[in-house]
Amino acid sequence: MGIYKPKNFSSLHYKSLNKVFIERKGLRGQTIIEHPLEQIIRIDIQEKQFKHSKLYRAGILMEFGKNIPINPEYSDENSIRHAVYRINSFLRSSQ
């Protein structure tokens, strides 16, 4: 079974199940968001402008127009670009 869990990200991708599961843990408990892989259009980089800099996070653009952050936290651009590259490589690889 192909499983990919990005470092410092709160998602699991079970490729053999043809689904992506995004797990959120917080003070109010745990939530799991589940979507079929065929609904993913692409993995995007979202950016947010702060006072003197920009921070980034990876998001999943779904076919129905919804953009789901993989991790709610923002980080530096290089880390996010690397994570997006690894996720895209995993999604393109054969089962």
- Give the start-to-end residue ranges of the domains of the chain: 3-92
Q: Between 8 and 91, where is the model more confident?
A: 91
The β-bridge relationship of strands 67-69 and 54-62 is antiparallel
Q: Is the pLDDT of residue 8 over 80?
A: no
Rg for the chain, CA atoms, rounded? 13
Q: What is the pTM of this model?
A: 0.71
Please identify which residue in the block is written with the tokens 């199940």.
17
Q: Is the pLDDT of residue 3 over 90?
A: no
Q: Is the pLDDT of residue 86 over 80?
A: yes
pLDDT-based confidence at residue 95 (cuts at 50, 70, 90): very low
Phi, psi of 17 (to 5 degrees): -90, -5
pLDDT tens, 63-73?
988 899 988 88
Q: Is the pLDDT of residue 1 over 50?
A: no
- Would you state the structure tokens that stand for residue 20, as one six-digit string? 């992506």
Please identify which residue in the block is written with the tokens 């653009």.
61
